[in-house]
Amino acid sequence: MLAQLSFDQVAELTGAKPLGKKFDFLITQISIDSRQVIHPEQTLFVALRGAKADGATFIAQLIEEGIQAFLVHPDLEIPKEWAEKAAFFPVNDTREALQKLAAFQRSQFSKPLVGITGSNGKTIIKEWLGQVLSQSYAVAKSPKSYNSQVGVPLSIFGIQPYHQVAILEAGISRVGEMDALKGMIQPNLGIFTNIGSAHEEGFSSQEEKILEKLKLFEETQLLIYCRDHSNLSTILETQISEEKRISWSLAPGADFSVSYKNQEGKTRIILLKNDLSTFTFLVPFSDKASLENVTHVIVAALVLGQELQAIQEGLEHLKPVDMRLTLKPGVNDSLIIDDTYNNDLAGLRVALEFMSQQRPKKSKILILSDLLQQGTPEKVYAEVAELIDSYHLDQILGVGKEVVRLQNFFPDKSKVFDNTEELLKELDPEQFQNDLILITGARSFAFERVVNRLQQRIHGTTLEINLNALTHNFNFYKRQLRPGTKVMVMVKAFAYGGGAAEIANHIQTMGADYLAVAFSDEGVALRKQGIRLPIMVLNPVEESFDLIREYALEPVVFSLDFFKKIGQYAQNHQTQLSIHLDLDTGMHRLGFEAKHISALKPLLKEFPELRIASFYTHLVGADEEIHHDFSISQLNLFQEMKSQIEAELDYKPLVHALNSAGIVRFPDYQMDMVRLGIGLYGVEVTGKFDSSLRPVSTLKTTISQIKDLPPGATVGYSRKGVLPNGGKIGTLAIGYADGYDRRFSQGKGYVLIHGKKAPVIGNVCMDMTMVDLSEIPEVREGDEAIIYGEQISLKELADRIGTIPYELLTNISTRVKRVYYLD
């Protein structure tokens, strides 16, 4: 942090009237996450209230850990024992107060600050500009894609006095959000990347979106933009005065006229400035998107006055950015966090945080390279030492000349190596067993090789799960709910194919309230993997009562007979069990009907060992408008039935009815809780909010072999694929045994290769599928094929073969490896 804060300063900056015990130390850290506190005695904890849990719930524990300063909401009750130990700054909105503190910190930074916004490329430009500038300066930049209302303040707190330039990105999703970001970022130099044409929920038009984003640059001295995006530049040029604008274009007339010359996969970029000076650089790629991004980077570096030689050296080492932090299955039940693209402290912090959110494993191991950043290594490594200490790592394997400095801070069993080769010589996969291993290193250390050694062999097909998209979708549904409405997340059927343990773990950290599985075994597996949320079991059987008791699962009870059985069991074992009552209002699958209620009443008295945790019903047609009246009649019948049962109890069970579709269609029937399923996984079945959800899973495979076939050749079983004119085909490493539906045979399905469609040819086989590559001349063996993901929606695929997205998702075989990432 740039400026340390006294008690009085915190009060003044936030406008709070402090309560509790005054302190006389200086605040050096601001934290919003109870697990991220490093120096409790110098930390101000900001209790945010969001879709996630309320930060205030951690206060007691944090006081215990030694935190003595809290920014809280005014309605928080502060007991005497807290007031004796800590200071409380009540403010109407803690997020806004956090932003004020960030704005103050920003005002303490007198060096150049670059602010980036736009629809695409923000994060890549930030990363690349950071890499190029760090040839000459100590650079601070936002970690990963921290660009939101909370991400930006956290990025600003990461700026240190020794930094010489800072780069921050700003992302917004609705009108009105930029004001707060602008106040904090106050960029000296701006980059407006481009503007997407896609309709976004929070904006009524593209123009509105541009105007909102432009607010960031109202007081910026200089703004870089590409004139070739005419929709953007027309508006920009009416809003930003000429002396502030720096344009570049592939056409003449801009401040920088740019041309690209392709040279064997590399590209020579020539910039002609309007004073007729020219600059030439060579970059290691040739695709259009990368060239646009890197041109922004070059213009920014030139405007900042960096030496040409240093810019060129920085550009040579650029690689297409993979910002993803990926969770992969490792050897011997270990779990690997792959962060092999990371080069700074801020990224390390994010990766360690991600690590701390994973399920508990035997030990936590960090494989770490030197950090490539200029500036004072003492300071940087002192911070790394603090991180190592506070995240309770068990073992560290360090690689490089600089990490040696840290040796004294390493836990026992740690080791350092001069280079990656030395590490690989000693790295025996058998030494790991059920561990959590974070592999994080700068590009030049090529830690992919370490990941390769320790990850489980992944056969050609993988299902990639985007955890940020999952968070996005969870928050979308949270926004549809009244505050206080609980969310039960359906993780039945392996979490709709996504992998129950990782998904349950992720939503547990996001603040879901309940989980539901189909069978007791699924619940047991979750418990064994460290999931602590209450778990409802939809379809329990008598044989699993022991497991239910032992693993604290909560069965659904759906008949009088079953109620008696489980009641008897609880009595015999003198134990209390939580159960859920399924009320059948029209599904006619499982559940009590209205006519059973009179017989149920005496049972409630007879078996007080059974505690009714909730009542629920399930809508049969919440996704379709034509069933509207039926749904309403179900909901009304449900409320009547549950009231009759409730009257017999001296406590109030939770009441819930809505599934994903119900949440968007029947907001008046949220009751105490909703049951979120398919929507979390990125499919909005009512079609009303399609563009508001992000696809979560991408199913990918690879091309095992390519063949050129003569005219008249046939492909696959029963000779169903016919090539009258011959052509090129590819064999994919996926078949119906992996869950690629056989109904996709003979052109019904297609995959995407290099962004182009390759239709299925012939019949899908058990483990392989052949596709027509005639339209994709550049294809090679080993290339990737996308079965579904961002560019192929599950709904479209499901329609093609007359099924529903649910079936496609849950059919993916468990032999397909699941890989999780944060983008």
Binding site members: 589, 766
Residue 618 binds to ligand PLP (criterion: CB under 6 A):
yes
148/145 Cα distance (integer angstroms): 9
**Region near ligand PLP per CB under 6 A, out of 286-294, 630-638, 654-662, 713-721:** 654-662
29/41 Cα distance (integer angstroms): 10
Nearest distance in Å: CB 823, ligand PLP:
24
Would you give the binding string for ligand PLP spanning residues 475-494, x where CB under 6 A is met? ---------------x----
Nearest distance in Å: CB 624, ligand PLP:
12
Nearest distance in Å: CB 663, ligand PLP:
8
Answer yes or no: are the C-beta atoms of 648 and 604 closer than 8 Å.
yes
Size of the site for ligand PLP (CB under 6 A): 10
**Closer residue to ligand PLP, CB minimum distance, 104 or 514:** 514
Among 678, 693, 771, 779, binds ligand PLP (CB under 6 A): 678
At 139, list the tokens: 């650079």
Residue 664 binds to ligand PLP (criterion: CB under 6 A):
no
Three-state DSSP state, 686: coil
Nearest distance in Å: CB 463, ligand PLP:
18
721/768 Cα distance (integer angstroms): 14
Instruction: Tell me how far CA of residue 575 lies from CA of 115, 550, 564, in angstroms.
Output: 60, 11, 15
Catalytic residues: 492, 717
279/308 Cα distance (integer angstroms): 8
Window 513 to 542, contacts with ligand PLP (CB under 6 A): 538
Nearest distance in Å: CB 626, ligand PLP:
17
Answer yes or no: are the C-beta atoms of 517 and 555 closer than 8 Å.
no
Residue 94 binds to ligand PLP (criterion: CB under 6 A):
no
Which H, E and C letters describe 209-268, residue by residue? HHHHHHHHHCCCCEEEEECCCHHHHHHHHHHCCHHHEEEEECCCCCCEEEEEEEECCEEE
Residue 659 binds to ligand PLP (criterion: CB under 6 A):
yes
457/510 Cα distance (integer angstroms): 30
**Region near ligand PLP per CB under 6 A, out of 36-44, 104-112, 382-390, 672-680:** 672-680
**Closer residue to ligand PLP, CB minimum distance, 538 or 764:** 538
Among 660, 692, 698, 745, binds ligand PLP (CB under 6 A): 660
Q: To 10 degrees, the CA torsion angle through 78, 79, 84, 88?
A: -10
Residues 6+ apart with CB under 8 A from 259: 250, 269, 270, 272
Classify residue 459 as exposed, middle or buried by CB count within 10 Å of its CB (0-12, 13-18, 19+).
middle
**Closer residue to ligand PLP, CB minimum distance, 385 or 587:** 587
Nearest distance in Å: CB 72, ligand PLP:
35
What phi and psi values does residue 120 have, to the nearest 5 degrees?
-125, 155
**Closer residue to ligand PLP, CB minimum distance, 32 or 619:** 619
**Closer residue to ligand PLP, CB minimum distance, 495 or 566:** 495
475/470 Cα distance (integer angstroms): 9
Nearest distance in Å: CB 473, ligand PLP:
11
27/104 Cα distance (integer angstroms): 14
Q: Which residues are annotated as a binding site for substrate?
A: 589, 766
Q: Which residues of 127-143 are buried (b: 16+ CB within 10 A; e: fewer)?
A: bbbbbbbbbbbbbbbbb
The residue nearest ligand PLP at its CB is 677
At 53, list the tokens: 């849990």
Residue 758 binds to ligand PLP (criterion: CB under 6 A):
no
Would you give the binding string for ligand PLP spanning residues 434-473, x where CB under 6 A is met? ----------------------------------------
Answer yes or no: are the C-beta atoms of 510 and 699 closer than 8 Å.
no
Among 677, 695, 716, 721, binds ligand PLP (CB under 6 A): 677
**Closer residue to ligand PLP, CB minimum distance, 315 or 661:** 661
Nearest distance in Å: CB 622, ligand PLP:
7
Window 173 to 192, contacts with ligand PLP (CB under 6 A): none
For residue 804, the tally of other CB atoms under 10 A from its CB is 15
Binding residues for ligand PLP, per CB under 6 A?
490, 538, 618, 659-661, 675, 677-679
